[in-house]
Amino acid sequence: MIPFEYVRATDVAGAVAAGAAPGAAYLAAGTNLLDLMKGGVARPTRLVDITRLPGLAAVERRDDGGVRIGALARNSDLAHDPAFAEAYPAVAEALLSGASAQLRNAATAAGNVMQRTRCAYFTDPGSACNKRRPGSGCDAIGGETRLHAILGWSEACIATHPSDFCVPLVALDAGVEIAGPAGTRLVPLESFHRLPGTTPERETVLEPGELITALVLPPEAAAFAGHSRYLKVRDRTSYAFAVVSAAAALRLEGGRIAEARLALGGVALKPWRSRDAEGLLAGRAPDAAAFREAADAALAGARPSGDNAFKIELSRRLAVRALTAAAAGTPARLPALPGSVLAPAPEAAHV
């Protein structure tokens, strides 16, 4: 870890001013950032500690029925907030399917959105990586690509975004509230992360100094509470990143799908929402044929970036399974192994 200047921010304006300097990075829990700094992957020369910014840890219900998740809300606090988990069960399930209890106790909501890819070539300073060092090449291409992208990748970068939390959030139309030198703006989570293209070093739409202050779920998001699931295929049942994950949410009316939401994780450099799949499901009966058509649509543009063609069919099958589980109803209590495709879930109706 290289030496850095430690700055403790006391208000958002001060944080933004301190964070706009070249080489500055924001520090919340640091569960990802410190790890990358120890490995020489992240090399900030100034850390702006935002953990004491007032009011940013709150989860606030809004009068319009939406919810504002403070940037500093801890993963475990959010997942175990009874009202939040009841209204957005797939978000709670995604949170609890990720990392370990210790990490969830520390890691923050905005930190989750800002976490870096776990591409082994990105985290190894000895490997070429266009994201870490623009123009140096990509050693992942032609390397070990089991966990790499099948959607939205480029010749410059085939990494994936590792978040579980972001997958149901993007399905539920979450917004990212950003404070910056020019004021506050709200960006849809769906367009917050950038696909790699020719500039994989530009990971998000954040400009220098800009700071996430909250994530916002619109009032409509709670309408899916009764039929929502997050499922995650991983190489071990707990404490592992997704090979592929899927968030499915349905609003059923009179035995038909009034509205569907579907997003995939572990497939691209951003949480991948499929509006094509959602459009196909609207008005259909919630049956296997409809779900398979939707899954086919979601993966229509997929192509392997290496030895990972298996992820395309795996993603289709997981999408079908998540939609099927969502149609069966949100479990009254989260399964013992959240997000697990191996766990037998007693599918009691949620509402």
Partner 1 sequence: MSFDIVLTVNGTRRTIPIPDPRVTLLDLLRESLHLTGAKKGCDRGQCGACTVLVDGRRINSCLALAASLDGAEILTIEGLAEGDRLHPVQEAFITHDGFQCGFCTPGQIMSAVGLIREAQAGDDPERVREAMSGNLCRCGAYAGITEAVLEAQKALSQNAPTTRQGEAA
Residues near partner 1 (CB under 8 A) are 1, 3-6, 8, 27, 29-31, 34-35, 38-39, 47, 49, 51, 76, 79-82, 85-86, 92, 96, 99-103, 105-106, 238-239, 333-334, 336-338
Sign of CA dihedral 51, 77, 89, 342: positive
Here the tokens at position 296 are: 């086919």
Name the burial class of residue 347, with classes exposed (0-12), middle (13-18) and buried (19+) by CB atoms within 10 angstroms of its CB: middle
Shortest Å, Cβ 333 to partner 1: 7
Residue with Cβ nearer partner 1 (89 or 196):
89
- Do 200 and 116 touch, CB atoms closer than 8 A? no
Least distance between partner 1 and beta carbon 134 (Å): 26
What are phi and psi for residue 326, nearest 5 degrees?
Answer: -65, -40
In the complex, minimum distance from the CB of residue 350 to partner 1, in angstroms, rounded to a whole number: 11
Task: Kindly tell me which of 2 and 285 has the beta carbon lying closer to partner 1.
Answer: 2
The rounded distance, in Å, linking the Cα atoms of 76 and 278 is: 30
Residue 347: both structure tokens together:
């599918």
Nearer to partner 1, 33 or 280 (CB): 33
| Least gap, CB of 38 to partner 1 (angstroms) | 7
Extended beta strands in 193-267, E state: 211-217, 228-233, 244-253, 256-265
Q: Decide whether 36 or 179 has the Cβ nearer to partner 1.
A: 36
DSSP H or E stretch at residue 18? helix 12-19
Closest CB to partner 1 among residues 100, 191? 100
135 in Cβ contact with 156 (< 8 Å) = no
Give the shortest CB-248-to-partner 1 separation in angstroms: 19
Enter the tokens of residue 332.
């009254």
Record the tokens describing residue 112, joined without a space: 């989750």
> What's the CA gap between 27 and 29, in Å, rounded?
6
The answer to whether residues 263 and 271 touch, using CB atoms and an 8 Å cutoff, is yes
Between residues 31 and 117, which has the closer beta carbon with respect to partner 1? 31
The least distance separating partner 1 from the CB of residue 175, rounded to whole angstroms, comes to: 23
Q: Which is nearer to partner 1, 38 or 275 (CB)?
A: 38
Query: In terms of Cα–Cα distance, which of 32, 179, 180, 170 is closest to 106?
Result: 32
CB of 49 to partner 1, least distance (A): 5
Closer residue to partner 1 (CB): 72 or 281? 72
151 neighbors 273 (Cβ within 8 angstroms): no
Least Cβ distance, residue 131 to partner 1 (angstroms): 20
